Amino acid sequence: MNTKEITVMTTTETFNEGGAETLLVRLRGLMPTLAESERAVGRLVLDQPAETARIGISELARRAGTSATTVTRFCRSIGLSGYQELRLLLAVVGYKQEAAGRQLPIGAEAEIAADDPLPAITRKIAIASQQAIQDTLDTFDLSALAGAVDVLAQARKVDIYGVGSSDVVVADLHHKLSHLGLIAVAYSDVHRSVASAAHLRKGDVAIGVSHSGRTAEVLDPMRVARERGAVTIAVTNYPRSPLADQVDIVLASAGQEDVLFRTGATVSRIAQLYVTDCLFVALAQHRGEQTWAAFEQVHQAVSSRTGERARSRRTN
């Protein structure tokens, strides 16, 4: 199997296939790759999609503090033919949001403000978390997921790298893969990660978890792992990022950022956990009887330990 054949799709393909349904989700993922002037346009599109659909290119350029040429370049950078196609897709997005009775917009008004009361805080976090899972589902590359399952099912060893808020996702995935009987090791220290990656070879798999796709502590061991011949898998929110560019398979999440109180870290973690849960369940299903045998081994080991502790307490 050529793992490069199942990597993330190009930008143009993504928008043509996903259309209005995934326009804003994909745009958020592409924002870090755009020029600053184009990001100014992107922020307006994300914050006010319905309003943007109603105004002309010159007005959007004025509000973004840029030129009509930059707006056109922005449209092409995100895989669209021009501003008319953007307006059409945004009009569909606005109609669907209104028809669905969306409780909060996708843009800035959904972010937690400094003076928000507790009911608003809890509601916004709940909605953002739900939306992150739904957005990830809507944009999930199932061919990439299937490819990841195939390589993991045959892996001799699995290394998992992640730091910061991604460390929680790494620990959870490590637990799940170990439960399936795979030889998996999780690392959050870059020196240990690189040292382990140096010993990987063909038949091994390295998984890097990074919301931004730019974490040096993840990029370094993933680069070494690929140089050693291991298949590399990225779990990231940005399918056009340094991490995504250097791996064989990209599993993209879709967690929205909130800059003020960094609840984006919470939401992105939930989206990443959803991705890795899908990976675990699909892999467990793929392994069939091996899965049940592994579960039974774990159950027996844990049960025997529990029984020994109970007997020890009675004798004491």
* 266 and 200, same domain (yes or no): yes
Global confidence as pTM: 0.76
- Reported as a pLDDT band with limits 50, 70 and 90, residue 1 is very low
* 291 and 146, same domain (yes or no): yes
Q: Residue 278's domain spans which residues?
A: 142-296
- The reply to whether 136 falls in a domain is no
Task: Give the mean pLDDT of 53-69.
Answer: 94
- Reported as a pLDDT band with limits 50, 70 and 90, residue 220 is very high
* 160 and 77, same domain (yes or no): no
State which of 108, 130, 159 marks the end of a domain.
108
Task: Give the mean pLDDT of 99-103.
Answer: 54
- Residue 244: which CATH number? 3.40.50.10490
* 61 and 146, same domain (yes or no): no
Q: What is the pLDDT of residue 3?
A: 46
Least confident of 41-50, 146-155, 192-201, 299-308: 299-308
Share of the chain above pLDDT 90, in %: 56
Q: What is the pLDDT of residue 10?
A: 37
| pLDDT for residue 136 is more than 50 | yes
**Structural domain total, the chain:** 2
What's the whole-number average pLDDT of the chain?
85
* 101 and 204, same domain (yes or no): no
In this predicted model, what pLDDT tens digit does every residue of 115-134 receive, in sequence order? 889 988 888 888 888 888 98
Nearest to 209 by CA among 177, 251, 181: 251
- The reply to whether 172 falls in a domain is yes
- The reply to whether 122 falls in a domain is no
Task: Give the mean pLDDT of 172-182.
Answer: 96
| pLDDT for residue 69 is more than 70 | yes
- Residue 45: which CATH number? 1.10.10.10
- The reply to whether 157 falls in a domain is yes
* 150 and 248, same domain (yes or no): yes
